Every structure is written in structure tokens, then in C-alpha cells.
Amino acid sequence: MNDRLHWRPGKPRAWEIESQEIELDDFIERIIVVSDLHAYREPLAAVDAYLDTLNEAYRVVVNGDLFEGGVDAPTTIDWVRARASGRTTWGNHDSRIFAYLAQETDQDPPSQWKQDGELGSYKTLSAEQLEFVAELPDQLMIRWRGRTIRILHGHQNPGNPGYTPWMATPDQLMELFHDSQVDLTAIGHTHYPFVRQRGGSLLANSGSVATPIYRWRDTGPIHDRCADGDSVSDDGAYSSFLSIKQGGEALAVEIVRFNGLLDRYTHYSDLNMLMLARRELILNAFLDLKKMGRG
């Protein structure tokens, strides 16, 4: 078992980024990038509904964080394998289960594993599903119609071994992840979508298909990410993903947004995240860390 499988979220990276090369045929007309699924099944049905409207050849890419938050880890893995097998990266929340299997000593005991947590997700996965997750690469390098698209979750990058916090701003992410050597770098992790350009190359964040975060608060004032002139206006809370097409000589990157769904979670009483905090997160795109609690 390598260093990557011993890694804990928040720690520095101690291995070379594992990258997978992908060549897409020119007949593909659209690439869909979905990230931060977090084990919620309803948003995946919404993505399926969108895909059913497309009258063109497309490929789906999944950009990490399959677990932690929802209660549908096996369904999420099945969806990812059906839609994006060979085109999926590993996020920061897809890892603690492997440290546990490696018998690391500072793990929560199974009696404390909630259904909506990483380790709770592990309990519901088959050995085959677990193996699929363990083998996911850190990064994809997609070649398509003469363009190069770098796909990585956003908690790590090849040029910096440090951990990137989810609270990072778009300006900070531009300094960390913008790469003039590729046409587009697509990330997730922060749950806030944007598209920015510098020197002819793009950095895009798909946001979260399950739990958008436009605003957040810890112990102090509310932090509002909705900057003037950014890709997302402060007009409500929307889950999102990226749609990439060829727009003339450049890539055209669109943020596709849709309303999140929550009703089923009102029936659970023993989850990590309190219903009040979950409602604010999904319906208002506001993560209030003071209200997270335990269900």
C-alpha cells in the first residue's frame, strides 16, 4: 500500500501526482465535468435528466469527492462507474477509509461511524466498489480536438505538496492551479463554481453537484464568495457542473446550474450533520460550521 493510501485530509502530499492520460475522439462534441457528489443520489438523477436532453455525443468526467455528506455511497459509485469509468479522479473525501484499512491507530471506532460520513460510507461498499475507489488517479490529462484539459479535484496540485483548503478563494486558486501550458484546468473541492481566463488559458471550478457553498461562517462573520463580475451571481443556491464545448478556436466552458433536493433527509435522525445545517447548505448554499453538530 503506497503513501497515497495512508494520506489524511489536510496533510501534505508525500507522493508524485498519479496522472492518467485520456484521448477523446474528435466526434465527441461535449465534455461534462461533475465533482463533489458526496453520496447524494438525487443530484445524479438531475444530471441524468440533463444528459437525456443532449442530442450530441458527450463524455462525462467525475472530479473527486464521491463520499461524505449523503447516505448513498453504493449508488454513487455505481453511477460513476456507469457514466465515467476510466474518467474519474480521487478527491480528499475518498481516502480515510484506506487509512482505516491500513490499521492506522487514530481512527474513529466503527460504533461512531455515521451513514453520512466517510467511514460510514465504507461500511456500505462492496469489495469491488472499494477497489474501484482505491485505484482512482489524482489527475486526468485529456487530449481532445487538439486541446489539453487538466482535471484534478483541487485539494492538491503537482507543483505544491501542501493541502489546499476548501475555503480558498478564486484568486488564491488561480495562483495555485492556473496552468498556461494547458487550455483548461478544471477543479472542484471548494463547492463554488467559476470560470476565469489568464493569458489565453482557463481555470474553471465546477462547484458541487450536491452541496453548493456560496457563503460560509466559522466563529466570526459570514464569508461571501459571490464576487462582482464572477461567474456566479448571488441569486439563489444552485448545484452545478461544467459543460465544455469547442467554441471556435477556444474552449467554451459553461456552468450548468440546477436546484438541489433535500426532502428525503428529513426522515433521518442519526446523521453527522444536523438537519438545520444541511438545509442551509443545500437550499441556501451557506455552510454554517457552528451549526454542523451531530444529528
Model confidence pLDDT, tens digit, residues 28-71: 999 999 999 999 998 999 999 999 999 999 999 999 999 988 89
Burial 76-94 (b: 16+ CB within 10 A, else e): bbbbbeebbeebbbbbbbb
Helix, strand or coil, per DSSP, at residue 60: strand
Per the document, the length of the chain is: 295
Q: What is the pTM of this model?
A: 0.89
Predicted confidence (pLDDT) per residue in 128-168, tens digit: 999 999 999 999 999 999 999 999 999 999 888 999 999 99
pLDDT in tens, 197-250: 998 899 999 999 999 998 888 888 888 887 655 656 556 678 899 999 998 778
Q: Which of 293, 260, 258 is nearest to 277 (CA)?
A: 293
Is the pLDDT at 21 greater than 90, yes or no? yes
pLDDT (0 to 100) of residue 234? 55
CATH number of 3-291: 3.60.21.10
End-to-end CA distance of the chain: 34
User: Do residues 52 and 81 lie in contact, with contact meaning Cβ atoms separated by under 8 Å?
Assistant: no
The Cα 153–Cα 90 span in angstroms is: 7
Distance CA 55, CA 52 (A): 8
